[in-house]
């Protein structure tokens, strides 16, 4: 039996489709072989047929086109400003940040705080997720003062 390949790159799967299509293998057989090697979640039969059509129409590029989308409002300057506001008052809420930055949605502010700055809520205070050795030492000194 064959060994399955987990998490293939999209362009890898498309390259296999292009190769097998050049050998005049039918789309249903291409899909069957993809599932055999890459597993059930590799690509649907309909997507295989779509890519075969595109390759038959003359497409040679196996990479997907760049997609246009909404530009992100999150930049390093904004992240720094949000971090500055957080350091002024560690007991802030996302709503309080929203009052300071009304042009940015609460969802984006929450994403900045959680994912970009790596803060989490702890006893109604926002603290860094990863404590440094200095933080750990301070916490220990506060908890167990020297007599």
Q: State the pLDDT at residue 103.
A: 87
For 61-98, write each residue's pLDDT tens digit: 998 776 666 667 788 888 999 999 888 887 888 888 89
Domain spans, the chain: 10-57, 71-146
| pTM, rounded to two decimals | 0.47
Strand partners, 119: 128
For the domain made up of 10-57, the CATH class stated in words is mainly alpha
For 19, other C-beta atoms within 10 Å of its C-beta total 13
The answer to whether 48 and 27 are in contact (CB under 8 A) is yes
What's the mean pLDDT in 28-55?
A: 91
What's the CA gap between 42 and 5, in Å, rounded? 10
């Amino acid at each position: 039996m064959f060994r399955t390949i987990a998490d293939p790159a999209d362009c890898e799967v498309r390259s296999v489709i292009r190769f097998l299509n050049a050998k005049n293998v039918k789309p249903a057989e291409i899909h069957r072989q993809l599932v055999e090697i890459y597993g059930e979640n590799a690509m649907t039969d309909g997507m295989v047929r779509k890519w075969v059509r595109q390759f038959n129409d003359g497409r040679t590029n196996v990479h997907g086109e760049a997609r246009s989308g909404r530009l992100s409002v999150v930049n390093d300057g904004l992240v720094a400003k949000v971090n500055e506001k957080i350091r002024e008052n560690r007991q802030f809420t996302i709503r309080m940040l929203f009052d300071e930055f009304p042009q940015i949605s609460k969802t984006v502010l929450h994403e900045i705080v959680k994912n970009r700055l790596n803060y989490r809520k702890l006893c109604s205070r926002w603290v860094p997720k990863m404590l440094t050795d200095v933080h750990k030492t301070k916490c220990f000194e506060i908890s167990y003062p020297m007599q």
